[in-house]
Each structure stands twice: as C-alpha cells, then as structure tokens.
Structure 1
Amino acid sequence: MALTRAEQRRQTEDRILAAARRLFADNGYDRTTIRAVAAAAGADPGLVMRYFGSKDELFARVAEVPSDGPVSGSPEEVAELLLAALDGKLRGDLSGTLAMLRSMLTHPDAGQEMRAAISGQQRQVAAALPADDALLRAGLIGALTLGTIIGRDLLGLDGVRDADVADIVRVLRPAVHAIARPPG
C-alpha cells in the first residue's frame, strides 16, 4: 500500500528530527549544519528549511527537556518520584537533553531554554517539599540529576559510564532522600 503525501511528509520530518537530534547531541549547536542534518536524513537542505524554518527552530524541536511530570506527596514520595524520573531518563533516549546540554555553553538560547525548563521543574519540586529552604533542596536534587546525566552520557566518567541504571539509582537514593527530607 502506497503512503499518502501526509505520511511521507511525517516520515521525512521524523528522519530529519532523528538526524538533527544525533548531530546536535554529538557536535553541539555551533558545529551542526543544516546541510549535515539533511545529508544524515537523506533529504535536501531546502526541505529541512521548509519543514523547520531555521536552524534555531530545528534545534528547539529536538532539544526539548522533557518534564518529570507532576510532583507531590511526602518528602519520601517526592524523592522516589524524582529517582524514578532519573531512572527513566537514563534508560530512555537522552539525545534531546544531550543536545541541549552540549550546546548550552556556546549557544545562548540553549542555555536560557535549559535554565527555564530546569527552573520550572525545580519550583514544582520545591512546592512539594515542606522546608524553608525547599528551593535550595530542589536545586541540589536537580544538580545531582543533571550531574549524573552529564557524567554518564557526556563525559563518560569511569564508574558511571558503564554502571547499571538500577545501581546508579540505588547509590543516589540515600542522598536524594536526605536532601528531600525537611530538617529536624
């Protein structure tokens, strides 16, 4: 059965997005070109521009930081929700997050988008923690999560790079719980 024009377009867009995600994650924003994305996707550069408008718009589509979802419950439940979210991230496709992380130091918009996404998540976690310094605690848990992803998938740090995801979460569990727990 022949594909409709809409299905062909969707498949081409998906190929372009997958290629862009890989290239931005591997090379960062500055070193990724529309021509390279088009070549990797088996598409014409003009088609990439027609579908996505600009390199910035293409980057914005592939470098979204997914939300961890709603956060609520006791500090212990919040800690477990955040650990489950980290587990899911480490097991999933991190190419969009890695594209954003690799690019945020050289591309101002990437850094601003990353800060905005992380700050929104941090405020949501802080609202669920019953402590005067809840925003600090949420930020530190976020820093642990971000540092784990950077250490494992960008820097390839020994010990973390090849560790089983369940082991990473197991080792981080006491620290996340201690940070989430209110003082006293």
Structure 2
Amino acid sequence: MPDAETSRSTQRRDTQKRILDAARTLFAERGYERTTIRGIATLASADPRLVSHYYGAKEQLFAAAVRHDVEPDAGAGPISPAEVMLENLGMKISGLPETSLAMFRSMLTHPEAAELARAEIDDRIRSLASMISADDADLRAALLLAVTIGVTVARELVEVAELREASPAAIAAILLPAFDALTTSDRIEP
C-alpha cells in the first residue's frame, strides 16, 4: 500500500500548490478585498472546503501567498547582505513575482492585508538583519528593504519611465555602493 499513500501525498501537495498558485494570481490581480476563497477554489479546480482545510481563513491564505524567501545560490560562495538585496531587487524588477504584486496591491487598500504584509516585511527585516554585523542592524535592514520596496513599486506599479527604461543590472550597479554602505559595521553618527 505504500504506492497508494504516496499517490495521496502527491495529490495533496499538488492540490496545495494549485491553491497557493491560484491565490497568488487572484490576490495579485484583484487585491485582498476582492479575492474570495470560492474564486481561488474555482481557479485551482478545488473544493472551497479544501482551501480552508489546507490554509485556514483568507488571512492565513494571504500570508502564505505573499511569503517567499530569497535563497542565495549555494554554489556561489559567500554573499553579502547587499548582494542578497540586489538579487532580490533584480528578481522584482526583472518581472515582479505574483507574491510581491499581491502584497503590494493588497497592503495599500486593505487594513488586514496591510497587517499581514507588515508581518512578512518584519520577518524579512529580521532575516536580513541577522546578516549585518552592526549595532543598528535592524534599522539598516529596514532601510535596505524600504529602498527595495520603493524601487519596485516605482518601476512596476507606478511605471516611472526612467526606472522602466533602465536594465536591472544598471539599477543594481548604481544601488550597490549605497547597499554596501548600509551593510557595513561602521556606524555613521548623526
């Protein structure tokens, strides 16, 4: 019977992935408020009860849909926090992932989505701060993330012409010194 169990396990993972992909698509297209569990289930070709079973309420599904981690390439050797942020930014400006689009659109229009997005951003700040050896690592990480979010929103949602016309590599080259300065341990006194 291991084959039947494996098959059920595979089906469960496939269904969860379809639901999460559908949620990302609808949250990105419609925002938090106009996305429904029923709509997600329909797009995922799943029963709405399965959506709730696997992800709970809409708030938990949104949190899962906007969560994504940027993992550095394991074979690339050590990577600095600045390089992590630039890699993250490069991914966003090369084509905004649905996770980010869903979060950006929804957090600006719905208070519950804003709170969930804030929790995700806080997690990213803590993760990035752990890579920075400075007394004010949390502040530095928050600034890095704020610049990244700002560039992403300006380029992808507001469609600022200068940012849209520039290549991700050109933007990264200009930002690298600023990101490096934010991630060094030398504290700049006011």
Question: Which amino acid in structure 1 is aligned with residue 13 of structure 2?
Answer: R
Say whether residues 1:56 and 2:52 are aligned partners. no
Deviations 1:95-148 (A, max 9, x none): 122212221233333322332333344355556254x66554433222111112
2:102 to 85, 99, 114: 99
Point out where structure 2 has 5 or more consecutive residues left out of the alignment.
Answer: 73-78
Q: How does 1:16-165 map to 2 (within 5 A)?
A: 16-66=19-69, 77-90=80-93, 94-123=97-126, 125=128, 128-130=132-134, 135-161=138-164, 163-165=166-168
Q: CA deviation at 1:170?
A: 1.3
Task: Name the CA distance, whole Å, in 2 between partners of 1:96 and 1:126.
Answer: 22
1:29 is matched by which residue type in structure 2?
A: Y
For residues 128 and 167 of structure 2, the distance between their equivalents in structure 1, rounded to whole angstroms, comes to 26
**In the alignment, is residue 9 of structure 1 matched against residue 16 of structure 2?**
no
Measured on the aligned residues, the alpha-carbon RMSD in Å equals 3.2
Greater fraction of residues in helix: 2
Kept in 2: contact 1:104–1:114 (CA 8 A): yes
Q: Which amino acid letter does the alignment assign opposite residue 35 of structure 2?
A: T
- When the two structures are superposed, what TM-score results if normalisation uses the length of structure 1? 0.74
| Structure 2 counterparts to residues 168-179 of structure 1, below 5 A | 168-179=171-182
The letter for the 1-side match of 2:60 is E
Q: 1:47 to 1:119 in 2, by over 3 A?
A: closer
The gaps in structure 1 that reach 5 residues or longer are 70-75
| Cα displacement (A) at 1:4 | 2.0
Count of residues in correspondence between the two structures: 176
Q: Secondary structure at the match of 1:122?
A: helix
Return 133-142 or 18-27, whichever deviates more. 133-142
Greater mean alpha carbon deviation, residues 119-128 or residues 30-39 = 119-128
